[in-house]
Chains A and B, each alone.
Chain A
Amino acid sequence: MLLNRFSRRQFLRLGVSSCGLSFALPSLDLRAAEQRGTERAKTLLTIWLGGGPSQLETWDPHPGTRIGGEVSAIKTTLVGVEIADLYPQMAEQLHHFSLIRSLVSKEGDHERASYMLHTGYRPEPTLVHPSIGSIAIHERPNELVEIPQFVSLGDANFPPRGGFLGERFDAYRIFNPGNNGQNIQALVGSERQTRRLENLSLVSQTFARGRTHKVDQTLHQHTIDAALRMMTSTQLKAFSVEDEPESLRAAYGENSFGKGCLVARRLIEVGICSIEVVLPGFDTHAKNHEGQSARAKTLDPALAALTKDLADRDLLQSTIVLVTGEFGRTPQINPLGGRDHWPSGFSCLLGGGGLPSGMVIGETDPEGNAKLPTDPIEIADLSATILDRMGIDYAKEVMTPIGRPMKFCAGKPIERFRVPKES
């Protein structure tokens, strides 16, 4: 087998040394969290619309056509650009984003398509590719952050994973955002905790005998140490929303997704590198209009409040915001009034992070006849655009555990999103 040819251990060691969980002393640059604008390191914030949002009921409406469904279009802060009337608040914030209406992929299954959007690669039987968020923390570990550097907020079906980079680069999951992190309070006082930990190193030594290298490789002790560091960190406060003003909390929405978006903003302030907030429920195979409208009632206020909040705090310049699901939905409405999976021409919003805003890329056929949109954008190119903007060498080749070299991303940055080098 291929596995023969490569030392997994060497691979893991490579991962550990560059992983952001080390005990290196914080660098002297304690002002990093205070930095703004182009000085500040880039964060990737993904708003994940699970199940596949309908492009026709979000950012690419075709009202009054055979495929248009029941929405109408409303004007936005981008001149000449209209979106579905389900998003009146986002219409006011659209100038912060560019709009891609022509994403194309070949994956029409939830799991496979989620993988595609997260990693920029199609699923393969022999290898799990890392998500872009995982690549970001792998390449840009932030020693000042004591809590996990990649956080997924909400109950994702297919959360982003570290893949061949290792499980340490999986997103840290907060299932119920706003209620602090899970399991971060020690059960006993410090005296007993010390006794517990001292005893632990004693029995761990016994176990390591005769299998030292393999036990090291499990990272068992490493994860305990990282957990202990996290438990005492003041940065944990970012996970709770209690000290946010009532009015702001109301603007985001007093629901799991709204709180997730608010926590996301707090995590960005701390310096977290990759964040995903999940809103599930877009898989409307039946009663599409009702389903999409119901989701819009949660998404519209939260996303608009988040965009505005980031802009007000001068954090949008350093935060790349991607709003997408795993695919779009069919132009044709099925007999149940639903729309099915559609990866050949769907929409996403991309903004912040100093990316050019106000662009609209691609067009889908208002009659639903054309097989593909104009100006189709491949998912891998979207991934490359984001990594490139984060200052990461998207084409960097790394060795995988099966001994096959692999680029972080096989796509190329979309030229129109490239900005002149910042000084």
Chain B
Amino acid sequence: MNTRHRSGITLFPLLVVLGVGLLVASAALSPFSRQKPPPPISNLPEHPQIVSRVDELLANRWHAAGLPPALRAEDFTLLRRLSLVLHGTAPSLAEIREFEADHRTDRVDRWTERLLADRRFADYFARRFARFLIGTDEGQFVVFRRDRFWDWLGNQFHQNRPYDQVVRDMISQRGLWTDNPEVNFVAAVVADGVIDHNKLAGRTTRAFLGQRIDCAQCHHHPFADWKQEQFEGLAACYGQLKITGVGVEDNKTDPYTLLDRLTLQDRTIEPSVPFHPEWFPSAGKNRERLAAWVTHPDNRRFDRALVNRVWGLLFGRPWIQPVDDLPNPHGTGPDAEDLLDLLGADFRAHGCDLKRLISTIIATRLFRSTSQHPGLEATDDLDSFEQAWVAFPLTRLRPEQVIGAMVQASSIKTVDRHSHWTTRAIRFFRELDFVKEYGDLGDDELTERTGTIPQALLRMNSSFAAEWTKSTIFSAAGRIAGMAPDDEACLDLCFLVCLTRHPTAEERSVLLRQLERTHGDERSQVVEDLFWTLFNSPEFCWGH
């Protein structure tokens, strides 16, 4: 990763020069003015029933906790929230203007569908999923291609391919990591030419079943019923895996053996599964058998794990923490009083449709509520408050979201696939650097966290901060300072671009004075300072 990093940095000045051409061209278009509404989307999905059942379930929870639910968030707040969770960035001024011009009552639903149809959703979600599917370790470059995996997974999400099929491909496909990028799921655990079967088994259960049985690798699970033999049997499902010159293959003959630490003898391990062996086909290649078992229609763990994960990505906090260690499902069938079962059963009944699940959650009252609540002023007991899920949770944005929002805010135009490749390349390489310095969360990114000093320093003083607040003829700060018709508009634009909202009366009264009668460099400096302030505000750095 490091060497690729550096090549990014040396490319950087060149990319900037190339990017200038594009930006000059784009400067001709003024997004400051209000725009026409988007064309109507004809087929908004119908899922009121599941949405109201989720609302009901949550309402019972609020009632039990004796807390009234939070009010509905303003549409601009929802717009920002949607862009951050679905695209990993803040909305651009152009997008804000378009949204503002749409006066229909269901504009949030329309906007959700539009964001889900945008390739940026598929790419962003592919990155989020890749974190727990292939980890964040560097991997062995010759046999592992993270970029190909990202791209492949992005394609699956973009086409909204049934998620169970996607998972089956990852577990069981053969071939080259470049031609069949799904095999990178298994190739990711290769180190020094050696396949780590245990890691693969552990990752399979964590990622797809929401259960941590890795510790059963060496001993029985301290709480749950995992036995060491079960773990070994699962690892043996990957026992025939082979890495050759033609990619990932299955070797049919050699049995899977393990060095016994007590006897120091090799033991042969038969592939097996830890529960419901009747879902485990008796014929076929071992990896295909495993894939069928993991994604079996009756395997609620599969659906529940995915729902908890998606919930976590949308709210910044999973329904159950940690995200990949869920309690065993109750009873024999889905429990309608259990949120994970409720959404999981709907997900399964609709062909493991990921986008449907996402738009369902987004349509709930909880997702559309504000993160403000009288309880957050009155109570000291924030934990029980948060367990009641009465308001949208305030959570630390992931570094990718922070940098995504900064990059977007520093440009007036939308940064997406249609942006010039140089713009995208800059974003890509700068993002890698930023994430590392901000503190890469590895594959454990859904744990709640506070801010840190290195993050504060990075936002305040780094080259990133300098670059994205700087007022130039191409940057948002520069163009707002130079082109906004008056002080009011100038201030308003700074707030819209950075925070997706208008300034409050109090903010206006203080900040307008700073802009008064300024021009040229002096005005640019005031705007730069405003950008800096807004980038460093808690409102910018926390999901709300």
Contact = CB atoms under 8 A, between A and B. Distances in A.
B465 A187 contact: yes
Interface in A167-198: 167-168, 170, 172-173, 175, 182-188, 192, 195-196
Interface stretch (A7-15, A27-35, A244-252, A404-412): A7-15
Interface string B40-60: 000000000000000000000
B537 A203 contact: yes
A2 to B, nearest CB: 10
**Residue among B137, B193, B372, B538 with the most chain A CB within 10 A?**
B538
A220 B534 CA distance: 13
Interface stretch (B141-149, B175-183, B304-312, B445-453): B445-453
Interface in B443-465: 449-458, 460-462, 465
A3 B370 CA distance: 23
A166 B465 CA distance: 26
B372 A209 contact: yes
Contact of A211 (B261, B376, B461): B376
A211 B452 contact: no
B499 to A, nearest CB: 8
A183 B458 contact: yes
A218 B396 contact: yes
A412 to B, nearest CB: 22
Nearest to B536: A200
Contacts of B537: 200, 203-204, 207
A206 B504 contact: yes
Interface stretch (A222-230, A271-279, A375-383): A222-230
Interface stretch (A122-130, A137-145, A386-394): A122-130
Contact of A218 (B193, B380, B394, B533): B394
A285 interface: yes
Given A7-B382, A227-B457, A211 B462 contact: no
Given A125-B322, A207-B537, A202 B453 contact: no
Contacts, number: 194
Contacts of A285: 191-192, 194
A173 B529 CA distance: 28
Given A123-B215, A168-B450, A218-B396, A202 B376 contact: no
Given A167-B450, A172-B454, A285-B191, A211 B383 contact: no
Interface string A117-137: 000001111100000000000
Interface string A148-176: 10000000010000000011101011010
Nearest to A159: B439
A221 B539 CA distance: 12
A251 to B, nearest CB: 27
Contact of B215 (A125, A188, A219): A125
Contact of A212 (B377, B457, B507, B542): B377
B218 interface: yes
B453 A230 contact: yes
A156 B471 CA distance: 36
Contact of A214 (B382, B460, B529): B382
A230 B460 CA distance: 13
A53 interface: no
Contacts of B361: none
Contacts of B192: 283, 285-286, 336, 338
Interface in A278-334: 283, 285-286
Interface residues of B, number: 74
Contact of A199 (B325, B449, B511): B511
A182 B381 contact: no
A338 B193 CA distance: 12
Contact of B387 (A1, A182, A196, A213): A1
B379 interface: yes
Contact of A215 (B394, B465, B507): B394
Nearest to B138: A157
Given A196-B533, A213-B377, A219-B450, A124 B222 contact: yes
A218 B542 contact: yes
Interface in B348-400: 370-374, 376-377, 379-384, 387, 394, 396
Contact of A183 (B218, B380, B462, B532): B462
A270 interface: no
Contact of B514 (A12, A195, A212): A195
Given A9-B382, A168-B450, A187-B466, 13 more contacts: A1-B320, A6-B383, A12-B450, A167-B450, A184-B457, A208-B538, A211-B376, A211-B544, A215-B394, A219-B451, A224-B456, A224-B460, A371-B261
24 contacts: A3-B383, A6-B383, A9-B380, A9-B381, A10-B380, A21-B453, A109-B199, A125-B212, A175-B436, A182-B462, A183-B454, A183-B457, A183-B458, A202-B511, A204-B537, A204-B538, A207-B538, A213-B377, A213-B379, A213-B382, A217-B382, A227-B453, A227-B456, A286-B193
Nearest 3 pairs of A and B residues by beta carbon: A210-B372, A285-B192, A227-B456
Interface of A: 1, 3-4, 6-10, 12, 21, 106-109, 122-126, 148, 157, 166-168, 170, 172-173, 175, 182-188, 192, 195-196, 199-200, 202-204, 206-215, 217-224, 226-227, 230-231, 283, 285-286, 336, 338, 371
Interface of B: 137, 191-194, 198-199, 212, 215, 217-219, 222, 261-262, 264, 320-322, 325, 370-374, 376-377, 379-384, 387, 394, 396, 436-437, 449-458, 460-462, 465-466, 469, 499, 504, 506-507, 510-511, 514, 525, 529-530, 532-534, 536-539, 541-542, 544
